[in-house]
Amino acid sequence: MALLVAGIILFIATHLVRPFAPGLRAGLIARLGKPAFMALHGIVSLISLFMMAYGFVLARDGGGEMLYYPPVFMAHIALTLMLISTICLVSAFMPAGYIRSKLKFPALVAIKLWAFAHLLANGESYSVLLFVAILAWAVILRISLKKRIAAGEATLPVFVSARYDVISVIVGALLYAAIVLKLHEWLIGIRVLP
């Protein structure tokens, strides 16, 4: 589980530099230039994601302590939340429709729903560690973004057209179907549906 923990720490540290160490970020941008900084940030992010994913697999293969046993119906709730999550995620990459303009940060909503849904359906120690950490990170980042908006350092999306909501729902549902039917098993090694 050490690799999973290291990956979580690296991911969270990398993604909380802006709100908690703006001087460090500004100094690195001044020294490296923004494109090089963004490339370095991207590489470290990918490394941390790989560490978390591989660490999760190692922890799962090593067997983890069951912290709780979710009732079967929680899997149905998790599946429903994941559909909403994929729609929110797609809307984050679209011009603002009602979904994006109302949620303000739909990618963070998607991440929080993803983590919460997986907590409902998984009680293993390594699962709880990963999903609680990601959920906490998303909540902290949301609070930070709220402060940045209040300070005028960030802006909220402005509504453009409801057609982007329709696209988000269709593409989100297709992504959800792909994940449920094959991608989750292919990427994670666990079938979603029996």
Percentage of residues of the chain with pLDDT beyond 70: 100
Torsion sign across C-alpha atoms 91, 96, 100, 105: positive
pLDDT at 48 over 90: yes
Q: Tell whether 96 and 192 lie within a shared domain.
A: yes
Q: pTM higher than 0.85, yes or no? A: yes
pLDDT at 73 over 80: yes
pLDDT at 107 over 80: yes
Q: Tell whether 171 and 188 lie within a shared domain.
A: yes
Q: Tell whether 149 and 96 lie within a shared domain.
A: yes
Question: Quick one: tokens of 40?
Answer: 């370095």
Q: How far is CA 27 from the centre of its chain?
A: 27
Task: Give the pLDDT score at 23.
Answer: 82
Q: Tell whether 53 and 111 lie within a shared domain.
A: no
Q: Which of 63, 94, 115 is the last residue of a domain?
A: 63
Q: What length does the chain have?
A: 194
pLDDT at 19 over 80: no
Task: Give the pLDDT score at 118.
Answer: 97
Q: Tell whether 45 and 73 lie within a shared domain.
A: no
Q: Tell whether 29 and 83 lie within a shared domain.
A: no
CA distances from 182 to 87, 90, 117, 179, 192 (A): 18, 19, 18, 6, 8
**What amino acid is encoded at 9 in this protein?**
I
d(CA 118, CA 126): 12
Q: Tell whether 132 and 183 lie within a shared domain.
A: yes
Q: Which of 46, 63, 80 is the last residue of a domain?
A: 63
Q: Tell whether 104 and 170 lie within a shared domain.
A: yes
**Mean pLDDT estimate for the chain:** 93
Domain that holds residue 20: 1-63
Q: Tell whether 97 and 22 lie within a shared domain.
A: no
Q: Which of 28, 63, 98 is the last residue of a domain?
A: 63
Q: Tell whether 49 and 73 lie within a shared domain.
A: no
Residues 6+ apart with CB under 8 A from 57: 189
Q: How many domains does the chain have?
A: 2
d(CA 68, CA 139): 23
Q: Tell whether 26 and 85 lie within a shared domain.
A: no
d(CA 150, CA 159): 19
Q: Tell whether 104 and 127 lie within a shared domain.
A: yes
